[in-house]
Amino acid sequence: MDKVKPGMIVERAIIGSTGEILLNKGVHIDARYIQRLKDIGVPAIYVRDENIGKVEYDEVVSNQTRLEALSVARDVVTNLRLRSDFDIRRVNKVVDDLVSELVTSRDLLVALIDMRAANDEGFYHSVNTTVLSVITGLGMGYNDKQLRQLACGALFHDIGVILLPPELLKKPTPLSPEENKQILKHPELGFQILRKKEGVSLMSAHVALQHHEKFDGSGYPRGLAGDEICEYARIVAVTAIYDNFVGLGSNKQLVLPHQAIQYLIKYGGIWFDPEILKVFVGIIAVFPIGSVVQLNSGVQALVTRANKNHPSRPVVRVFKNRLGARVAPPFEIDLEANPEYFIQTIVVEEP
Ligand SMILES: [Fe+2]
């Protein structure tokens, strides 16, 4: 966000946590918008660069389905608060839509970063965790039924949080041991909501119960280890943490996928199931579309397309030569087909 200047054109819509568009694609951003985005803690946005040219990219899920999922997530929470029940048919419909869209985009890598405001009430996080979990499930060879159960569990993994006192979640100061104990109850509370609900499988309910269990048995509430933790919950343990890192950044600074993945790998076999982690790492484009990289030849390039078979070797568009002068017109190199080139670093400075 520090590099965003008035007049830049937004390339990808920023969606708010309750399904409203905060900033649409094609908008010329002004100083007021920039300040507002900073205020609400959006760590970064996608902007267009006319010098480099248009970049085509695929969303793994259409905006329409994403907005519907956000709206369903919000609806469930509102209804649970008001009358302790919700409409499962609407949930199942959106879960079906999400799964069938993700099945058709199974050749895609997760190659875009989903940024959001720091005040996300959790809906955006739930939906994104669901998307990442289903793609991981696809990588594990799950069938449709398994994908839907996983998706439902991922969408509601933190549903128990709504039964906690709201002041606890908003508290700016560190929590007392007693308050901490209350937070640790949210998996059990979520499980109780879901297991009684007709139309929600017990497997999905277990995701809520076990998403804070850790592979080495150091998690909660039960301290289960390895295979004792249901596989769906082992997936969501990975995807939920990854999404929080990359989506929210750290202290309003963008955390890039490769940094988040490095962190996850450090805890492979300790917090996370190493086999699941391996599948997950394979679905994330190490260098997301839109990032500026430097190749071993010294040139600078923009990542324009991900290669499914080679997450670290995307197609790039060279726009600066090794001396830092603009290349006009920019040209593309497919790193998968040109093994003599590789990405040396992500360039964080402005191109
Ligand atoms: Fe949680």
Each residue's pLDDT tens digit, 154-188: 999 999 999 998 888 878 888 899 999 999 999 99
- What does the DSSP assignment read for 211-242? TT--TTS--SSS---GGGS-HHHHHHHHHHHH
For residue 168, report the distance from its CA to the centre of ligand 1, in Å.
Answer: 14
Q: How many CB atoms lie within 10 A of CB 227?
A: 10
For residue 292, report the distance from its CA to the centre of ligand 1, in Å.
Answer: 34
For residue 173, report the distance from its CA to the centre of ligand 1, in Å.
Answer: 20
b (16+ CB within 10 A) / e for 194-204: beebeebbebb
For residue 205, report the distance from its CA to the centre of ligand 1, in Å.
Answer: 13
Q: How many CB atoms lie within 10 A of CB 108?
A: 18
For residue 186, report the distance from its CA to the centre of ligand 1, in Å.
Answer: 7
Contact (Cβ atoms closer than 8 angstroms) between residue 4 and residue 45 = yes
For residue 130, report the distance from its CA to the centre of ligand 1, in Å.
Answer: 14
Task: Enumerate the β-bridge partners of residue 345.
Answer: 294
For residue 303, report the distance from its CA to the centre of ligand 1, in Å.
Answer: 34
For residue 166, report the distance from its CA to the centre of ligand 1, in Å.
Answer: 15
SS3 of residue 117 by DSSP: coil
For residue 159, report the distance from its CA to the centre of ligand 1, in Å.
Answer: 8
- What does the DSSP assignment read for 130-158? HHHHHHHHHHTT--HHHHHHHHHHHHTTT
Per-residue pLDDT of the chain (351 residues; tens, 9 = 90+): 888 999 999 998 888 767 778 888 999 999 999 998 888 888 888 999 888 888 888 888 988 899 899 999 999 999 998 887 899 999 999 999 999 999 998 778 888 888 777 767 788 899 999 999 999 999 999 999 999 999 999 999 999 999 998 888 878 888 899 999 999 999 999 999 999 999 999 999 999 999 999 999 999 999 999 999 999 999 999 999 999 888 776 666 778 898 999 999 999 999 999 999 999 999 999 899 988 999 999 999 999 999 988 888 999 999 999 999 999 999 999 999 999 999 999 987 654
For residue 325, report the distance from its CA to the centre of ligand 1, in Å.
Answer: 48
Task: Enumerate the β-bridge partners of residue 14.
Answer: 23
For residue 219, report the distance from its CA to the centre of ligand 1, in Å.
Answer: 11
Per-residue confidence (pLDDT) for residue 169, from 0 to 100: 81
Contact (Cβ atoms closer than 8 angstroms) between residue 291 and residue 264 = no
Contact (Cβ atoms closer than 8 angstroms) between residue 311 and residue 286 = yes
pTM recorded for the entire structure: 0.91
Q: What angle do CA 198, 134, 242 make, to 5 degrees?
A: 115
For residue 158, report the distance from its CA to the centre of ligand 1, in Å.
Answer: 5
As a whole number of Å, the end-to-end CA separation of the chain is 14
CA pair distance 127, 108, nearest whole angstrom: 18
For residue 211, report the distance from its CA to the centre of ligand 1, in Å.
Answer: 6
Residues 6+ apart with CB under 8 A from 260: 242, 245, 246
All structural domains of the chain, each given as residue ranges with its CATH number in brackets, are 63-281 (1.10.3210.10), 292-346 (no CATH)
For residue 338, report the distance from its CA to the centre of ligand 1, in Å.
Answer: 43
